[in-house]
Amino acid sequence: MATSREDIIDALKTVYDPEIPVNIWDLGLVYDIKIGTKEIVITMTFTSPTCPLMEEIFAQVKDAVAAVAHGAPVRVELVWDPPWNLSMMSDAARLELDLTESGW
């Protein structure tokens, strides 16, 4: 059984930055999902390069995706380009954090 993109997105939505009450998918921290024949690659960033929980969140992402990967290896790649910004958040995340376009 192949892992679907939707399965991976659902798994990513279970991972939260403990400092922000929104999951990493809706925060816009995941830039790409590649489902290959040999592995699944998640490309992501953080809101800040000084995030103190970066390694913990990274491990949570890998574990969450591995749980739906049907045994396929999971690799998580960290990138800083393009830099994350508020416009990458979903509308639901902006509502949850009480951010409006005028507040950007």
The third-level CATH classification (topology) of the domain covering 5-86 is GMP Synthetase; Chain A, domain 3 (3.30.300)
17-33 pLDDT per residue, tens? 888 889 999 999 999 99
Q: Is 70 left (phi over 0), alpha (psi -120 to 50) or beta?
A: left
pLDDT of residue 104 exceeding 60: no
Helix pair 5-12, 54-66: axis angle to 10 deg: 140
Q: Tens digit of pLDDT for each residue in 53-63?
A: 999 999 999 99
Question: What is the residue whose two structure tokens read 């958040």?
Answer: 89
Where are the chain's structural domains?
5-86
Percent of the chain predicted with pLDDT > 70 = 94
Instruction: Say what the pTM is.
Output: 0.90
CB-side neighbour CA atoms (13 Å) of 66: 10
